[in-house]
Amino acid sequence: MVTVATVLIGVALAVGLALQAFEENLLFFYSPTQVLAGEPPDGTKFRLGGLVMPGSLQREPGDLTVNFQVTDNQNILGVSYEGVLPDLFREGQGVIAHGRLQPDGSFRADEVLAKHDENYMPPEVAEALADGHTNGGVDAPVPN
């Protein structure tokens, strides 16, 4: 009976640790509208998705810092990223940025992902853009 109890306690402990590790590494997806509504928990890392606003891309001369705006056709959120952007990154294209919301309301990205061809857009981004397009808002391209 002691052996069975010890095994059950060990299994319960292993499951608890696995769930805790999973929760800590979970990244949630939010559109600019959801971020501005305060849906992401404060201080947590999350994914921001939408379209890169045409005309919003700004690069610092001699630096890897890039600033741009992401829209879901309803709202716009400023993004700052330091690093090399993907080859397919450009204005008017779908993007997902991993990072945190800053105290000033901007988004600081640790990683930026661009869609890989003209026919693909992550389902979360397409859904957020479709919702923004049907509700009116920022004039930006809508995915196919």
- Mean residue pLDDT of the chain comes to 80
136 half-sphere exposure, CB direction, 13 A CA radius: 0
| Rounded mean pLDDT, 93-112 | 88
The pLDDT value given to residue 27: 64
Please give the pLDDT value at position 80: 92
> Which superfamily does CATH assign the domain made up of 27-134 to?
Nucleic acid-binding proteins (2.40.50.140)
Q: Are 96 and 113 in contact (CB under 8 A)?
A: yes
User: What's the whole-model pTM score?
Assistant: 0.64
The model's pLDDT over 30-85, given as tens digits with 9 standing for 90+, comes to: 888 888 888 887 778 888 888 889 988 898 788 888 999 998 888 889 999 998 88
Q: Is the dihedral of CA 19, 20, 23, 25 positive or negative?
A: negative
Each domain of the chain, given as residue ranges in start order, spans 27-134
